[in-house]
Structure 1
Amino acid sequence: MNRRLAIKQVLIFAGGMALLPSCLREEGKVSIPLKNLDISATQEKLLAEIAELIIPKTDTSGAKDLNLHLFVLKMLDDCYEPVDQQQFLAGLKTFEGHEGKGLAQLVSDANTGKSGISEEVSKFYNIMKSRTIGGYLNSKYVMSNLLIWELVPGRYNGYFRVKSA
Protein backbone atom coordinates (compact mmCIF):
# COMPACT_ATOMS: atom_id res chain seq x y z
CA MET A 1 0.00 0.00 0.00
CA ASN A 2 1.16 3.50 -0.76
CA ARG A 3 2.34 5.20 2.44
CA ARG A 4 1.26 8.68 1.32
CA LEU A 5 -2.23 7.46 0.56
CA ALA A 6 -2.49 5.81 4.00
CA ILE A 7 -1.35 8.99 5.79
CA LYS A 8 -3.76 11.08 3.73
CA GLN A 9 -6.69 8.79 4.59
CA VAL A 10 -5.79 8.78 8.30
CA LEU A 11 -5.66 12.61 8.35
CA ILE A 12 -9.02 12.88 6.57
CA PHE A 13 -10.52 10.40 9.03
CA ALA A 14 -9.08 12.32 12.03
CA GLY A 15 -10.46 15.60 10.67
CA GLY A 16 -13.89 14.01 10.25
CA MET A 17 -13.80 12.70 13.81
CA ALA A 18 -12.89 16.17 15.08
CA LEU A 19 -15.90 17.69 13.28
CA LEU A 20 -18.35 14.94 14.20
CA PRO A 21 -19.42 16.30 17.65
CA SER A 22 -20.47 19.63 16.14
CA CYS A 23 -22.59 17.82 13.57
CA LEU A 24 -24.30 15.65 16.20
CA ARG A 25 -25.10 18.50 18.58
CA GLU A 26 -28.73 18.37 19.51
CA GLU A 27 -30.73 21.37 18.41
CA GLY A 28 -32.38 23.28 21.22
CA LYS A 29 -29.70 22.61 23.83
CA VAL A 30 -27.74 25.17 25.78
CA SER A 31 -24.65 26.54 24.03
CA ILE A 32 -22.14 25.45 26.71
CA PRO A 33 -21.55 21.92 28.03
CA LEU A 34 -23.16 21.29 31.42
CA LYS A 35 -22.76 18.15 33.51
CA ASN A 36 -25.66 18.35 35.96
CA LEU A 37 -28.21 20.72 34.42
CA ASP A 38 -30.54 20.16 31.49
CA ILE A 39 -31.28 23.59 30.05
CA SER A 40 -32.96 24.23 26.70
CA ALA A 41 -32.12 27.00 24.25
CA THR A 42 -35.35 28.86 25.10
CA GLN A 43 -34.49 28.73 28.79
CA GLU A 44 -31.04 30.06 27.96
CA LYS A 45 -32.62 33.00 26.11
CA LEU A 46 -34.91 33.61 29.09
CA LEU A 47 -31.91 33.64 31.43
CA ALA A 48 -30.21 36.14 29.12
CA GLU A 49 -33.29 38.40 29.30
CA ILE A 50 -33.42 38.17 33.10
CA ALA A 51 -29.70 38.93 33.36
CA GLU A 52 -30.22 41.92 31.07
CA LEU A 53 -32.97 43.17 33.41
CA ILE A 54 -30.55 42.89 36.33
CA ILE A 55 -27.68 44.69 34.53
CA PRO A 56 -29.11 46.57 31.53
CA LYS A 57 -27.06 47.97 28.69
CA THR A 58 -26.45 51.70 29.02
CA ASP A 59 -23.33 53.49 27.89
CA THR A 60 -21.52 50.42 29.27
CA SER A 61 -22.01 46.82 28.21
CA GLY A 62 -24.95 44.93 29.69
CA ALA A 63 -25.30 41.36 30.88
CA LYS A 64 -26.26 40.02 27.45
CA ASP A 65 -23.19 41.54 25.82
CA LEU A 66 -20.93 39.86 28.37
CA ASN A 67 -22.81 36.49 28.28
CA LEU A 68 -23.32 36.56 32.03
CA HIS A 69 -26.21 34.08 31.80
CA LEU A 70 -23.67 31.48 30.66
CA PHE A 71 -21.49 32.37 33.64
CA VAL A 72 -24.47 31.85 35.94
CA LEU A 73 -25.21 28.46 34.39
CA LYS A 74 -21.60 27.31 34.64
CA MET A 75 -21.30 28.43 38.27
CA LEU A 76 -24.62 26.76 39.12
CA ASP A 77 -23.57 23.55 37.38
CA ASP A 78 -20.14 23.37 39.01
CA CYS A 79 -20.51 24.95 42.46
CA TYR A 80 -24.04 24.39 43.78
CA GLU A 81 -25.61 21.39 45.47
CA PRO A 82 -28.22 19.35 43.53
CA VAL A 83 -30.97 20.64 45.84
CA ASP A 84 -30.12 24.25 44.94
CA GLN A 85 -29.93 23.32 41.26
CA GLN A 86 -33.42 21.80 41.38
CA GLN A 87 -34.82 24.85 43.16
CA PHE A 88 -33.19 27.06 40.53
CA LEU A 89 -34.80 25.07 37.71
CA ALA A 90 -38.18 25.12 39.48
CA GLY A 91 -37.93 28.90 39.84
CA LEU A 92 -36.92 29.21 36.19
CA LYS A 93 -40.07 27.32 35.15
CA THR A 94 -42.11 30.00 36.92
CA PHE A 95 -40.53 32.67 34.73
CA GLU A 96 -41.25 30.78 31.50
CA GLY A 97 -44.15 32.16 29.50
CA HIS A 98 -43.58 35.70 30.73
CA GLU A 99 -42.33 38.16 28.16
CA GLY A 100 -41.68 41.88 28.05
CA LYS A 101 -43.44 43.81 30.80
CA GLY A 102 -44.70 40.64 32.49
CA LEU A 103 -41.15 39.37 32.87
CA ALA A 104 -39.94 42.77 34.08
CA GLN A 105 -42.75 42.89 36.65
CA LEU A 106 -41.98 39.38 37.92
CA VAL A 107 -38.28 40.24 38.24
CA SER A 108 -39.19 43.45 40.04
CA ASP A 109 -41.45 41.56 42.45
CA ALA A 110 -38.73 39.00 43.14
CA ASN A 111 -36.19 41.78 43.67
CA THR A 112 -38.32 43.63 46.21
CA GLY A 113 -39.33 40.42 47.99
CA LYS A 114 -43.02 41.03 47.45
CA SER A 115 -45.34 38.69 49.32
CA GLY A 116 -46.74 35.85 47.26
CA ILE A 117 -43.39 34.98 45.71
CA SER A 118 -42.64 31.28 46.16
CA GLU A 119 -39.46 29.94 47.74
CA GLU A 120 -38.27 28.54 44.40
CA VAL A 121 -38.64 31.92 42.69
CA SER A 122 -36.85 33.62 45.57
CA LYS A 123 -34.01 31.07 45.49
CA PHE A 124 -33.78 31.32 41.70
CA TYR A 125 -33.63 35.10 41.73
CA ASN A 126 -31.11 35.27 44.57
CA ILE A 127 -28.74 32.91 42.75
CA MET A 128 -29.31 34.64 39.43
CA LYS A 129 -28.75 38.12 40.82
CA SER A 130 -25.70 37.31 42.94
CA ARG A 131 -23.94 35.36 40.18
CA THR A 132 -24.80 37.95 37.51
CA ILE A 133 -23.40 40.80 39.58
CA GLY A 134 -20.36 38.74 40.58
CA GLY A 135 -19.70 37.80 36.98
CA TYR A 136 -20.06 41.41 35.88
CA LEU A 137 -17.68 42.76 38.49
CA ASN A 138 -15.09 40.10 37.66
CA SER A 139 -15.44 40.33 33.88
CA LYS A 140 -12.58 41.42 31.67
CA TYR A 141 -14.65 44.37 30.45
CA VAL A 142 -15.14 45.83 33.93
CA MET A 143 -11.64 45.06 35.14
CA SER A 144 -9.97 46.64 32.11
CA ASN A 145 -12.36 49.48 31.15
CA LEU A 146 -14.22 50.61 34.25
CA LEU A 147 -11.92 49.95 37.20
CA ILE A 148 -8.46 51.42 37.42
CA TRP A 149 -6.45 48.64 38.98
CA GLU A 150 -2.84 48.88 40.09
CA LEU A 151 -0.59 46.24 41.51
CA VAL A 152 0.15 46.48 45.20
CA PRO A 153 1.84 48.71 46.52
CA GLY A 154 0.90 51.09 43.72
CA ARG A 155 3.05 53.82 42.28
CA TYR A 156 5.66 55.71 44.24
CA ASN A 157 4.82 59.23 45.34
CA GLY A 158 7.91 61.01 46.68
CA TYR A 159 5.94 64.08 47.74
CA PHE A 160 3.54 62.24 50.04
CA ARG A 161 3.68 63.69 53.57
CA VAL A 162 4.23 61.16 56.31
CA LYS A 163 2.96 61.94 59.79
CA SER A 164 5.46 61.45 62.57
CA ALA A 165 4.48 58.96 65.23
Structure 2
Amino acid sequence: MQRRTALKNVAASMGAMVALPAWASNWNQKSIKKIGFLTIAEDEMLAEVVETFIPVTDTPGAKELNVHRFVQKMVAECYEPEVKKTLNDGLASLDKYSQQTFKKPFAAGTPPQRIHILEGLELSDDPSVRAFFPLVKNLTIQGYMNSEYVMTNLTHYEMIPGRFHGCVPIKEA
Protein backbone atom coordinates (compact mmCIF):
# COMPACT_ATOMS: atom_id res chain seq x y z
CA MET A 1 0.00 0.00 0.00
CA GLN A 2 1.19 3.53 -0.69
CA ARG A 3 2.22 5.54 2.34
CA ARG A 4 0.18 8.56 1.22
CA THR A 5 -3.00 6.47 0.81
CA ALA A 6 -2.47 4.87 4.20
CA LEU A 7 -2.09 8.27 5.88
CA LYS A 8 -5.29 9.53 4.19
CA ASN A 9 -7.19 6.48 5.42
CA VAL A 10 -5.88 6.90 8.97
CA ALA A 11 -6.79 10.61 8.95
CA ALA A 12 -10.29 9.89 7.64
CA SER A 13 -10.82 7.19 10.28
CA MET A 14 -9.67 9.50 13.08
CA GLY A 15 -11.94 12.29 11.82
CA ALA A 16 -14.91 9.91 11.75
CA MET A 17 -14.18 8.70 15.28
CA VAL A 18 -14.03 12.29 16.55
CA ALA A 19 -17.18 13.40 14.72
CA LEU A 20 -19.42 10.40 15.48
CA PRO A 21 -20.05 11.06 19.21
CA ALA A 22 -20.88 14.71 18.53
CA TRP A 23 -23.21 13.73 15.71
CA ALA A 24 -25.07 11.05 17.67
CA SER A 25 -25.13 12.78 21.07
CA ASN A 26 -28.65 14.20 20.67
CA TRP A 27 -30.29 10.85 19.94
CA ASN A 28 -32.86 9.72 22.48
CA GLN A 29 -36.31 8.16 22.51
CA LYS A 30 -38.11 11.50 22.33
CA SER A 31 -36.03 12.85 19.47
CA ILE A 32 -36.73 9.82 17.29
CA LYS A 33 -40.31 10.07 16.02
CA LYS A 34 -40.54 6.48 14.86
CA ILE A 35 -38.98 3.32 16.13
CA GLY A 36 -38.66 1.12 13.08
CA PHE A 37 -41.87 1.48 11.12
CA LEU A 38 -44.18 1.90 14.14
CA THR A 39 -44.83 5.11 16.02
CA ILE A 40 -43.77 5.38 19.66
CA ALA A 41 -47.37 4.77 20.81
CA GLU A 42 -47.68 1.67 18.61
CA ASP A 43 -44.31 0.43 19.85
CA GLU A 44 -45.46 0.80 23.47
CA MET A 45 -48.68 -1.06 22.67
CA LEU A 46 -46.71 -3.85 20.99
CA ALA A 47 -44.56 -4.01 24.14
CA GLU A 48 -47.72 -4.56 26.21
CA VAL A 49 -48.91 -7.25 23.78
CA VAL A 50 -45.67 -9.24 24.07
CA GLU A 51 -45.76 -8.74 27.84
CA THR A 52 -49.26 -10.26 27.83
CA PHE A 53 -47.92 -13.33 26.05
CA ILE A 54 -44.87 -13.73 28.33
CA PRO A 55 -45.35 -11.79 31.59
CA VAL A 56 -42.84 -11.22 34.36
CA THR A 57 -42.57 -14.14 36.77
CA ASP A 58 -39.39 -15.22 38.50
CA THR A 59 -37.79 -14.52 35.10
CA PRO A 60 -37.98 -11.26 33.14
CA GLY A 61 -40.96 -10.74 30.88
CA ALA A 62 -40.88 -10.21 27.13
CA LYS A 63 -41.17 -6.43 27.47
CA GLU A 64 -38.14 -6.24 29.74
CA LEU A 65 -36.09 -8.25 27.23
CA ASN A 66 -37.19 -5.91 24.38
CA VAL A 67 -38.91 -8.69 22.46
CA HIS A 68 -41.25 -6.08 20.95
CA ARG A 69 -38.21 -4.59 19.16
CA PHE A 70 -37.34 -8.06 17.88
CA VAL A 71 -40.88 -8.52 16.54
CA GLN A 72 -40.73 -5.17 14.82
CA LYS A 73 -37.30 -5.84 13.30
CA MET A 74 -38.32 -9.26 12.03
CA VAL A 75 -41.48 -7.91 10.42
CA ALA A 76 -39.58 -5.01 8.87
CA GLU A 77 -36.66 -6.98 7.50
CA CYS A 78 -37.76 -10.59 7.02
CA TYR A 79 -41.39 -10.50 5.94
CA GLU A 80 -43.32 -9.24 2.95
CA PRO A 81 -44.67 -5.65 3.08
CA GLU A 82 -48.21 -6.99 3.58
CA VAL A 83 -47.17 -8.30 6.99
CA LYS A 84 -46.30 -4.74 8.11
CA LYS A 85 -49.87 -3.80 7.22
CA THR A 86 -51.13 -6.81 9.20
CA LEU A 87 -49.15 -5.67 12.25
CA ASN A 88 -50.35 -2.06 11.92
CA ASP A 89 -53.98 -3.11 11.37
CA GLY A 90 -53.80 -5.54 14.28
CA LEU A 91 -52.49 -2.88 16.67
CA ALA A 92 -55.18 -0.42 15.57
CA SER A 93 -57.90 -3.05 15.94
CA LEU A 94 -56.51 -4.06 19.31
CA ASP A 95 -56.95 -0.61 20.78
CA LYS A 96 -60.34 -0.13 19.10
CA TYR A 97 -61.63 -3.48 20.37
CA SER A 98 -60.32 -2.68 23.85
CA GLN A 99 -62.13 0.67 23.88
CA GLN A 100 -65.38 -1.00 22.74
CA THR A 101 -65.15 -3.86 25.21
CA PHE A 102 -63.67 -2.35 28.37
CA LYS A 103 -63.87 1.43 27.69
CA LYS A 104 -60.11 1.82 28.16
CA PRO A 105 -56.95 1.42 26.08
CA PHE A 106 -55.30 -1.97 25.79
CA ALA A 107 -52.31 -0.93 27.91
CA ALA A 108 -54.59 0.09 30.80
CA GLY A 109 -56.33 -3.29 30.94
CA THR A 110 -55.70 -6.02 33.47
CA PRO A 111 -53.95 -9.21 32.28
CA PRO A 112 -57.23 -11.18 31.97
CA GLN A 113 -58.78 -8.31 30.00
CA ARG A 114 -55.77 -8.19 27.68
CA ILE A 115 -55.98 -11.94 27.08
CA HIS A 116 -59.70 -11.60 26.33
CA ILE A 117 -59.01 -8.83 23.81
CA LEU A 118 -56.26 -10.80 22.05
CA GLU A 119 -58.46 -13.89 21.85
CA GLY A 120 -61.26 -11.74 20.45
CA LEU A 121 -58.98 -10.49 17.69
CA GLU A 122 -58.05 -14.07 16.87
CA LEU A 123 -61.75 -14.78 16.18
CA SER A 124 -62.25 -11.66 14.03
CA ASP A 125 -63.93 -11.82 10.62
CA ASP A 126 -61.21 -9.67 9.04
CA PRO A 127 -58.39 -12.00 7.86
CA SER A 128 -55.65 -9.38 8.32
CA VAL A 129 -56.73 -8.76 11.92
CA ARG A 130 -57.08 -12.49 12.59
CA ALA A 131 -53.51 -13.02 11.27
CA PHE A 132 -52.16 -10.54 13.84
CA PHE A 133 -52.47 -12.91 16.83
CA PRO A 134 -50.41 -15.87 15.53
CA LEU A 135 -47.85 -13.55 13.92
CA VAL A 136 -47.07 -11.66 17.12
CA LYS A 137 -47.38 -14.73 19.34
CA ASN A 138 -44.92 -16.80 17.28
CA LEU A 139 -42.42 -13.95 16.94
CA THR A 140 -42.71 -13.24 20.67
CA ILE A 141 -41.86 -16.83 21.56
CA GLN A 142 -39.02 -16.89 19.04
CA GLY A 143 -37.59 -13.59 20.29
CA TYR A 144 -37.90 -14.57 23.94
CA MET A 145 -36.32 -17.98 23.52
CA ASN A 146 -33.44 -16.49 21.51
CA SER A 147 -32.80 -13.59 23.87
CA GLU A 148 -29.45 -13.37 25.58
CA TYR A 149 -31.00 -13.78 29.04
CA VAL A 150 -32.84 -17.00 28.18
CA MET A 151 -29.97 -18.47 26.18
CA THR A 152 -27.37 -17.88 28.90
CA ASN A 153 -29.39 -18.24 32.12
CA LEU A 154 -32.13 -20.74 31.32
CA THR A 155 -30.95 -22.97 28.49
CA HIS A 156 -27.22 -22.57 29.29
CA TYR A 157 -26.36 -22.21 25.62
CA GLU A 158 -22.67 -22.39 24.75
CA MET A 159 -21.49 -20.74 21.56
CA ILE A 160 -18.79 -23.36 21.09
CA PRO A 161 -19.78 -26.55 22.92
CA GLY A 162 -17.23 -29.09 24.01
CA ARG A 163 -13.67 -28.43 25.02
CA PHE A 164 -10.23 -29.61 24.08
CA HIS A 165 -7.98 -30.25 27.02
CA GLY A 166 -4.57 -30.99 25.55
CA CYS A 167 -2.87 -31.55 28.89
CA VAL A 168 -5.03 -34.41 30.16
CA PRO A 169 -3.08 -37.59 30.87
CA ILE A 170 -4.13 -40.60 28.83
CA LYS A 171 -4.22 -44.14 30.26
CA GLU A 172 -2.87 -46.91 28.14
CA ALA A 173 -5.37 -49.49 26.97
* Normalised-by-shorter TM-score class: 0.5 to 0.7
In structure 2, what is the Cα distance between the partners aligned to 1:84 and 1:152?
40
Equivalent position of 2:139 in the other structure? 131
Supply the RMSD in Å over aligned alpha carbons.
2.9
Q: Deviations over 1:26-82 (max 9, x none)?
A: 45422xxx3xx3x11111110000000000100011101100000000000000101
Q: 1:74-153 residue pairs with structure 2 within 5 A?
A: 74-96=73-95, 97-98=105-106, 99-101=108-110, 102-110=113-121, 113-114=122-123, 116-149=124-157, 151=161
CA contact under 8 A between 2:52 and 2:114: conserved in structure 1? no
Q: CA deviation at 1:15?
A: 5.2
Equivalent position of 1:29 in the other structure? 34
CA contact under 8 A between 1:87 and 1:120: conserved in structure 2? yes
Q: CA deviation at 1:16?
A: 6.2
SS at match of 1:23: coil
Q: CA deviation at 1:19?
A: 3.3
In structure 1, what is the Cα distance between the partners aligned to 2:155 and 2:144?
12
Q: 1:42 and 1:122, CA in 2 relative to 1: closer, same or farther beyond 3 A?
A: same
In structure 2, what is the Cα distance between the partners aligned to 1:130 and 1:78?
16
Corresponding pairs, count: 134
Q: Deviations over 1:73-98 (max 9, x none)?
A: 00000001011211221111111243
Where does structure 1 lack aligned partners over 5 or more consecutive residues?
1-10, 154-165
Q: Deviations over 1:105-157 (max 9, x none)?
A: 212334xx43x45322221121111111001111111111111446269xxxx
In structure 2, what is the Cα distance between the partners aligned to 1:117 and 1:56?
28
Equivalent position of 1:163 in the other structure? none
Q: One-letter code of the match for 1:100?
A: G
Q: One-letter code of the match for 1:107?
A: L
Q: One-letter code of the match for 2:51?
A: E
TM score, norm. by length of structure 2 = 0.65
In structure 2, what is the Cα distance between the partners aligned to 1:24 and 1:145?
32
TM score, norm. by length of structure 1 = 0.67
SS at match of 2:153: helix
